[in-house]
């Protein structure tokens, strides 16, 4: 019976182990029972918020319900007969009580469907009523407008001063109603939009603007709209403290036209210019006129175009209201700054002789 001692020994060690475990468990129970009770700390009363903080809280509470989270669906071709649906997102804000919402053109460009979410409600379908690639602005309208829409109060970008506090509300990276704070870093910047056009008078701010903020409002400390957040300058694509907003005065001029006509007024004088790359290649600074349209302010002012047969230059526009224009984009920006219906003083070169010509700015879209 040689296995019997081993069996008894195994049983002994098993019983001993159980006793030790039981003893340990008992010890743990004693320790747990004897441990002191730790109460949560008493909260120190905060007291009232400083007036400046309270004003900021109230400003956000008033403005946030008017900020929209915009999502889109865009068909992207993947082959000759196939396509995939790409989703996009951006921001916007309520313009009026009729359900019009303002955003950037690049947020809704090419979209087959647009949805707008306000407050904590469900996304509501919207239709595009007007777009302007030249100003990177667009207006959509809610298909089922809510009974109570709260438009953001409108301010004037002309009143802004460098160093003034501004606030951006939007949906960066899909994080809805994010508030960021900064200052007006610079005024009068120019922002390229389409191939030959720039938006003049753009606001530069260091309020954090990230992908998804596009189309959201830039507010002053009174909660008034002073700009539409549009772009950032960053190598990484994230906020680097340099953001740009389309000025409210321009927005207030463009948006009503988008609502009523579906397109924005386009300032011009009635000329077709020579392509900028050809002008640059020829070493010419200014706007070379390729064609003068009959019956336009340019024709009435006697401006002459390039002679296509002989190649002889006509008039080259080198300044608008005394400000030098070396490129087509700067020329258009100066016309936009002057405004449709107003008269500008053009500095023109013809046969190396400089002269001044008065021309009225017209709406090319009419």
> Which is nearest to 125 in space by CA: 142, 109, 111?
142
> Which is nearest to 228 in space by CA: 254, 265, 197, 195?
254
In contact, 270 and 300? CB cutoff 8 Å: no
Question: Which residues does the annotation mark as catalytic?
Answer: 106, 136, 214
Distance CA 54, CA 153 (A): 19
Alpha-carbon distance values, 152 to 27, 91, 104, 218 (Å): 67, 14, 16, 11
Token digits for 342?
């107003």
Distance CA 7, CA 1 (A): 11
Percent of residues in the chain assigned helix, strand, coil, to nearest 5? 25, 35, 40
In contact, 320 and 339? CB cutoff 8 Å: no
Task: Give the per-residue SS3 of 129-172.
Answer: EEEECCCCEEEEEECCCCCCCCCCCECCHHHCCCCCEEEEEECH
């Amino acid at each position: 019976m040689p296995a019997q001692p081993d069996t008894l020994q195994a049983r002994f060690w098993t019983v001993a182990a159980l006793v030790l475990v039981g003893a340990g468990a008992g010890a743990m129970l004693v320790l747990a029972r004897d441990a002191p009770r730790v109460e949560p700390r008493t909260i120190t009363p905060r007291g009232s918020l400083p007036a400046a903080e309270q004003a900021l809280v109230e400003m956000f509470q008033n403005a946030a319900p008017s900020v929209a989270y915009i999502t889109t669906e865009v068909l992207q071709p993947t082959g000759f007969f196939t396509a995939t649906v790409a989703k996009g997102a951006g921001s916007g804000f309520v313009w009026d009580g009729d359900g019009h919402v303002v955003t950037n053109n690049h947020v809704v460009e090419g979209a087959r469907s647009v949805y707008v979410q306000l407050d904590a409600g469900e996304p509501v379908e919207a239709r595009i009523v007007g777009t302007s690639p030249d100003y990177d602005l667009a207006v959509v309208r809610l298909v089922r407008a809510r009974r109570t829409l709260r438009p953001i109060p409108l301010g004037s970008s002309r009143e802004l001063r460098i160093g003034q506090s501004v606030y951006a509300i939007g949906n960066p990276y899909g994080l809805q109603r994010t508030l960021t704070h900064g200052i007006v870093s610079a005024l009068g910047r120019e922002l390229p939009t389409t191939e030959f056009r720039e938006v003049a008078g753009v606001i530069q701010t260091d309020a954090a603007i990230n992908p998804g903020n596009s189309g959201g409002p830039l507010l002053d400390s009174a909660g008034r709209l002073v700009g539409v957040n549009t772009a950032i300058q960053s190598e990484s694509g994230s906020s680097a403290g340099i953001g740009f907003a389309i000025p409210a005065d321009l927005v207030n001029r463009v948006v009503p036209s988008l609502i009523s006509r579906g397109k924005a007024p386009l300032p011009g004088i009635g000329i077709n210019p020579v392509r900028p790359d050809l002008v640059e290649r020829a070493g010419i600074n200014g706007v070379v006129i390729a064609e003068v349209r009959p019956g336009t302010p340019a024709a009435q002012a006697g401006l002459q175009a390039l002679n296509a047969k002989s190649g002889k230059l006509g008039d080259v526009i080198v300044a608008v209201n005394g400000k030098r224009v070396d490129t087509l984009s700067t020329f258009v920006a100066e016309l936009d700054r002057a405004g449709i219906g107003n008269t500008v003083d053009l500095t023109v070169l013809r046969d190396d002789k400089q002269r001044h010509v008065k021309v009225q700015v017209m709406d090319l879209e009419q």
